[in-house]
Amino acid sequence: MTNVFLETEEGHTRLLIPRQPTKAIFYNPRMELCRDIDIASVAAFVSMQQSQRLRYIDALAGTGVRGVRMAKEVGLSVTINDWSKPAYECITRNIKLNEVEERAKAYNEDANVLLLQNRYDLVDLDPFGSPVPFLDAACKSVKKLLLVTATDTAPLCGAHTGGLRKYAAKPLNTEYHKEMATRILMGRVTRDLCKYDRAIQPLLSYSRSHFIRLIARVEKGAEKADKCMNRLGFIGHCFSCGNRVSSHNIQNIGTNCELCGAKIGIAGPLYIEPIKERRYCEQVHNELEKREQGKKKAALKLVDASMKELDVPYYYEHHALCKALKVQPSPLYSLIDALRVKGFSASRTHFSDTAFKTDAGLEEIKAILKML
């Protein structure tokens, strides 16, 4: 049995993982960055709560790495579940290895059954592909904080069909598809929660390589849920000139581009209000600084970029714009400075190292690019 496993470490947690990759006991070392950010994010959330005795569930746990880390590195009471028997056995061994038996309990159930039978303060959904099959049960179960991963980025980004089917929203395959995917997922979570008179308050949302991660506070009340639904809207994108607009009301977008008159593509419904809370991101940043973690540097960079990012629901790829205008790209910081000098807000975005966000319109951006 021991030969089957290899011992490794994440954060302060020792971990048995399968020596050979196997679907029966899922472990992806590339998600360590996500788990490092989660540990800091949950620690920041807990430090802002009056009650420290919070119950957390990783409903789709694989080796149990997230839950065991939450028990050991944040001190939470955790439920760690996987319906695969070998995964359940691995979780049990990882709990013992880290001596967190008092705080951590392994389950071998269908995630939906467990979530429908119990309520948890913090619910973590980290599936293979889409979280949609588990969202309804998670929204019924969660009391305070929801953490959701999606790895089915193709349908969310508009590269496949499936966005409509799974997320009841239409994505468009644009240069800012990563952000569109994040906002479509947030929109779907909003609608699932609001059914139960609960509202979502996004705290930190990001996209990296193959996945999207949302961390959001959950609040109770029909009035809050109504307000939350009003944060949904649409993005209009012109594939002819690159113009983009957003509105809560689809009629405000119209059918043709205001700049060039071409037919405009419409994406949505999706979440068009801020997908992060700056004060919370600062706390996550502080937590990361305090901790020794394998991906600390990358985690700090990502949280810092998210925190400083403008709350505009799309971004512009600098090089694509310069190519369309046939101008030589200047450094991105000088474009951002020039936009600010002209009185606009502008920032980088964590979604892409070569992109920027601004409240300036496309014509204004183009005029500045030509001057640089």
Ligand X SMILES: C[S@@+](CC[C@H](N)C(=O)[O-])C[C@H]1O[C@@H](n2cnc3c(N)ncnc32)[C@H](O)[C@@H]1O
* Contact of 121 with 108, CB cutoff 8 Å: no
Q: Which is nearer to ligand X, 17 or 322 (CB)?
A: 17
Q: Which is nearer to ligand X, 126 or 179 (CB)?
A: 126
Report the partner that residue 258 touches, choosing among Zn ion, ligand X, none (CB closer than 5 to 8 A by kind). Answer: none
Type of residue found at 306: S
Type of residue found at 282: E
Per rule CB under 6 A, is residue 128 in the interface with ligand X?
yes
Report the partner that residue 141 touches, choosing among Zn ion, ligand X, none (CB closer than 5 to 8 A by kind). Answer: none
How deeply is 90 buried, as exposed, middle or buried, from its count of CB atoms within 10 A (0-12, 13-18, 19+)? buried
Q: Site for ligand X (CB under 6 A): which residue of 111, 148, 339, 369?
A: 111
Q: Site for ligand X (CB under 6 A): which residue of 5, 26, 88, 280?
A: 26
Per rule CB under 6 A, is residue 88 in the interface with ligand X?
no
* Shortest CB 323 distance to Zn ion, Å: 17
Per rule CB under 6 A, is residue 27 in the interface with ligand X?
yes
Q: Which is nearer to ligand X, 108 or 352 (CB)?
A: 108
Distance CA 111, CA 108 (A): 9
Lookup result for tokens 């839950």: 67
Report the partner that residue 128 touches, choosing among ligand X, Zn ion, none (CB closer than 5 to 8 A by kind). Answer: ligand X
Q: Which is nearer to Zn ion, 168 or 241 (CB)?
A: 241
- DSSP annotation string for 16-63: EEESS-BTTB---GGGHHHHHHHHHHHHHHHHT-S----EEEESS-TT
* Contact of 180 with 277, CB cutoff 8 Å: no
Q: Residues 6 or more apart from 296 whose CB is under 8 A from it?
A: 36, 288
Per rule CB under 6 A, is residue 313 in the interface with ligand X?
no
Per rule CB under 6 A, is residue 89 in the interface with ligand X?
no
Q: Which residues bind Zn ion (CB under 5 A)?
A: 238, 240-241, 243, 257, 259-260, 262
Distance CA 34, CA 125 (A): 13
* Shortest CB 125 distance to ligand X, Å: 9
- # residues contacting ligand X (CB under 6 A): 21
Lookup result for tokens 């606009």: 344
Report the partner that residue 58 touches, choosing among Zn ion, ligand X, none (CB closer than 5 to 8 A by kind). Answer: ligand X
Report the partner that residue 243 touches, choosing among Zn ion, ligand X, none (CB closer than 5 to 8 A by kind). Answer: Zn ion
Q: Site for ligand X (CB under 6 A): which residue of 75, 83, 170, 217?
A: 83
* Shortest CB 342 distance to Zn ion, Å: 22
* Shortest CB 272 distance to ligand X, Å: 29
Which range in 75-83, 250-258, 292-300, 314-322 contacts ligand X by CB under 6 A?
Answer: 75-83
Q: Site for ligand X (CB under 6 A): which residue of 16, 46, 57, 61?
A: 61
Distance CA 215, CA 5 (A): 31
Distance CA 123, CA 79 (A): 10
List helix spans (H) across 128-277.
132-141, 153-157, 163-167, 177-194, 222-229, 250-253
* Torsion of Cα atoms, 193 then 234 then 204 then 294, to 10°: 110
Both tokens assigned to 370? 């030509």
Residues in 41-60 at the binding interface with ligand X, rule: CB under 6 A = 58, 60
Q: Contact residues for ligand X (CB under 6 A)? A: 26-28, 31, 58, 60-63, 65-66, 81-84, 87, 110-111, 126-128
